[in-house]
Structure 1
Amino acid sequence: MQTSKGLTIFSWSLFDFANTIFSMNIVSLYFALWVTVDKGGRDILYSSALGISTLLIIFSLPILGILSDGYERRMPFLIFFTLISVIFTGLIGVFDHLFLGLIFFGIANYGYHSSLVFYDALLPQVAGEETHLGKVSGYGVAMGYLGAILGLLMVKPFVLRGGRSGAFIPTAVLFLLFSLPCFFIVKDAKEKKIDWERIHHHFFAAVKKLINTFVNARKYPAVFTFLLANFIYSDATNTIIVFMAVYTKKVIQMTDTQIVYFLITSTSFAVVGSYFCGFICDRIGPRKTLIGVLLGWCFTLSLAVVSFSPFLFWFVGPLAGICLGSVWVSARALLVKVSPTEKLGEFFGLYGLTEKFATVIGPLIWGLTVFIFEPLGIVRYRIAVGMLLFFMCCGLFVLTKVPE
């Protein structure tokens, strides 16, 4: 019996709903607080676990991409890596031990990011016609935002009852539950046996192509300058995603319930920011839009440094949400504008790579800053945000060198 196209698209996009339950509850909120507050661990421990797992993701991306394209079956890999993430997320809650938790988190984060490689690769098949790619992709993004918000609300009662460690098993269950429609309804179009000799050959070809892509970027000054700017300011934006909850708890001293609603508000404004940013990009151009967004980030981070009360910090959340939603929209649009059409795929791959490296470097800088200035007490967190502001200003300066 053939599955309807609409049901297939809905089931595929529901996986975005599922995986953002993990990213919001684990990466952005409860695991960070569990490490730094409940277990008394230093921020650098969380930064290191996140950084190591992200580095493993970066180095395995070529082989995962080749498996995806060469085998022409995405679903077995999607299911496998999702189950890895689900199982090890649950194990954090089962053992409730700091160092085991850091190891389990690293594995869960690796499984989460690896599953996205195969999920994204399903898009052309699910969309069917090329003209529907943007619309179907948009459904996934919308479901992702919805998953982030509803995921926080669904897990919150378990945290109120069992503390932050009570978030891990429910998050794992919800991640699995909302992934099931994708597992059972979305089917691979083709099935092919794995040719390991071919994969071995193509792996080294992919590495060589990656090096050539970097060299090619140097030949296009506008592209290279943009990618450098993107790496610098992404050090700040990616760190904000990871450590906003820690800053809100330790410096602003919000309760966990207040932090949940703070993140929901920020995410809602991210939806608004990403929606309206598209119209602004079309009107004044992506370069001017992105410069304006980074100026907004500089103001938001400055406000975060000087905020001494929850009331004032409530203005930081919506502003950060708007900037976060807008920066992704305008950055991608600018890359399209400055890249030669025939090189667009290569440069988008390099763009994704700079984002991943920024996820390693930014949180590590935060962790080291907080560690070095530990004798200063809570002020060390304001210094860490000041470091993010410095990176944002540097990224803005480099971006101004990108030609119109």
Structure 2
Amino acid sequence: MREVIAWAFYDFANSGYTTVVLTTIYSAYFVGVVAAGLDATTPGAATLLWTLAIAFSNLVVLCSGPVIGAISDFRASKKTFLLLTSILCVSATAMLAWTAPGQVTLAVILLVLSAIAFSSGENLIAAFLPEIATRENMGRISGYGWGLGYFGGLLTLACCLAYIQFSEGRGMGAEHYVPVCLLITALIFAITATPTFVWLRERAQPRPLPSGKGYVKAGLGQVLTTVRHAARLPDLFRFLLCIVLFQAGVATVVVLAAIYAQEVMQFDSQQLIVLIMLVNLTAAAGAFVFGFAQDRFGSIPSLAGALMVWIAAIAVALQATTNTDVWIAGNLIGLAMGATQAGGRGLVGQLTPASQNGEIFGLWGLANRTAAIIGPISYGIINRLADGDHQLSLISTLVFFVLGLGLLLTIDEKRGHQAARQVS
């Protein structure tokens, strides 16, 4: 049980980065302050640049993730890679605090570095799941991680909100309190990730490299072999494609929700933080409840229900005319986000052969990174072409969820479990 807690605490630790940097405070600050000069001459340019930076970082992880995963299988070094990516993410996040308004290039470089490290760490921590859980309780354990993670984001946001209220009470603006919020985020990440590195064990055993091959070449070869053998795991690979579709919608909401609320509904910093804090609470509830539902009713029916909630949430957001509409959409998004993120990781673990954990979770990361490129870029391009029309941009997000739901319903979960056991 201690290892499960240690594993879940990494989700607790890194969620502060997601909520503060990608979702709430820094995303809105980047568009509204750091890169505001771009919008003054070209409406929508700042939002497009934000989505391009996120897309580029995910492209890097898309290319490197499967290789790192395969190498970690050969060297049994997931924990070492996880430590290195954590140090990079914490350092780059802290350094973002020193980017002033107008320093767009430096801000983009540090944002990309931190996002690459964060996403790589997500791949690596996920690969431990099949080692600490059984197929019967994997959905529940994954739900624990996501649920605890949302409380980690909540803690970081609460600390940031307290400091923002303190600063604004003394007449200080965003140029003062946002950098401090970034330092708070980096510090909480570093402290709360410690249990993971103290208690979580590396159970995998090193394997000899094929004759005449280095780690990179062997890793690439292993990934290519897995892709060539996709016919043996048709439901797993179909689900990875499904993840690309619905996670494109999730990724768009994660990195653009605060920008949408700020630009369309005129939310200020405190309103944004309170909104995302409430979303984190409902997301934690969604993750915990879905973990049990997944183990009880099956992953496919449970995920289908979650995607229908996503579709309803985006429909409400598109029609929003009052703050109340935004709060309703936000709560629906929270419930759906916790469910889809916990469920996606849990089902991949169930459909993965035990001998290929690091490699398949590298491909899972590849699917997520592909989604994180397609989704935000679609939003950013539409927003730029429509001269900053965020509501029109949001329609592309709705389409991703509808397509993902359609593909999900074609997957045979029981057949996928049998194929994973046969390959193992």
Relative contact order higher in (CA < 8 Å, ≥ 6 apart): 2
**Alpha-carbon separation, structure 2, partners of 1:21 and 1:340:** 29
* Matched position secondary structure for 1:94: coil
Q: Equivalents in 1 of 2:58, 2:255: separation in Å?
A: 13
Match of 2:185 among 141, 159, 171: 171
Query: Are residues 118 and 215 of structure 1, via their aligned partners in 2, closer, same or farther at CA, if it must alter by over 3 Å?
Result: closer
* 1:260 to partner: Cα distance: 1.2
Q: Which residue of structure 2 aligns with residue 307 of structure 1?
A: 320
In the alignment, residue 151 of structure 1 is paired with which amino acid? T
TM-superposed CA distance for 1:60, in Å, is 1.9
Q: Does 1:355 align with 2:350?
A: no
Deviation at 1:69, TM superposition (A): 4.0
Identity, % of aligned positions = 23
Q: Does 1:100 align with 2:95?
A: no
Cα offset, 1:164, TM superposition: 2.8
| CA drift at 1:291 | 2.5
Say whether 1:30 aligns with 2:25.
Answer: yes
Q: Distance in 1 between matches of 2:139 and 2:402?
A: 32
Aligned residue number for residue 419 of structure 2: none
Tell me how far apart the structure 1 counterparts of residues 339 and 400 of structure 2 sit (CA, whole Å): 18
Distance 1:197 1:289, change over 3 A: closer
1:362 Cα deviation (Å)?
0.8
Mapped partners of 1:77, 1:290: distance in 2: 31
What residue number does 1:398 align with? 407
Check whether the contact 2:96–2:107 (CA below 8 A) recurs between aligned residues: yes
Q: Find the partner of 1:240 among 253, 256, 262.
A: 253
* Equivalences, count: 392
- Map 1:229-378 onto structure 2 (within 5 A): 229-282=242-295, 284-332=297-345, 339=351, 345=357, 349-374=362-387, 377=388
Are the equivalent residues in 2 in contact too, given 1:44–1:364 (CA < 8 A)? Answer: yes
Distance 2:314 2:177 in 1: 30
Q: TM-score, normalised by structure 2?
A: 0.79
Residue range with higher mean Cα deviation, 270-279 or 83-92: 270-279
CA distance in 1, matches of 2:307, 2:140: 27
CA distance in 2, matches of 1:117, 1:170: 24
- Is the deviation greater in 283-292 or in 97-106? 283-292
Whole-angstrom CA distance in 1 between matches of 2:127 and 2:83: 14
The superposition leaves residues 336-355 of structure 1 with CA deviations (integer Å, 9 ceiling, x where unpaired) of: 77x58679856555333211
Answer whether contact 1:291 1:400 (CA < 8 A) is retained: yes
* Deviation for aligned residue 1:107: 0.8
Tell me which of 154, 158, 168 is aligned to 1:149.
154
Contact kept? 2:71, 2:219, Cα under 8 Å: no
The alignment's TM-score, normalised by the length of structure 1, stands at 0.83
2: CA distance, partners of 1:342 / 1:73: 16
Which range moved further: 278-287 or 86-95? 278-287
1:106-185 matches, within 5 Å, as 106-120=112-126, 140-160=145-165, 161=167, 162-183=176-197, 185=198
Q: d(CA) in 2 for partners of 1:400 and 1:369?
A: 29
Cα RMSD of the aligned pairs, angstroms, is 3.6
- Alpha-carbon distance in structure 2 between the residues aligned to 1:341 and 1:220: 9
How far has the Cα of 1:74 moved from its partner?
Answer: 5.1
Deviation of residue 224 (structure 1)?
4.3
Whether the 8 Å contact between 2:85 and 2:120 is mirrored in structure 1 is yes
Mapped pair 1:214 → 2:218: no
Q: Is the 8 A contact 2:65 2:365 kept in 1?
A: no
Unaligned ranges ≥5, structure 2: 39-45, 168-175, 414-424
* Contact 1:336/1:344, CA 8 A, preserved across alignment: no
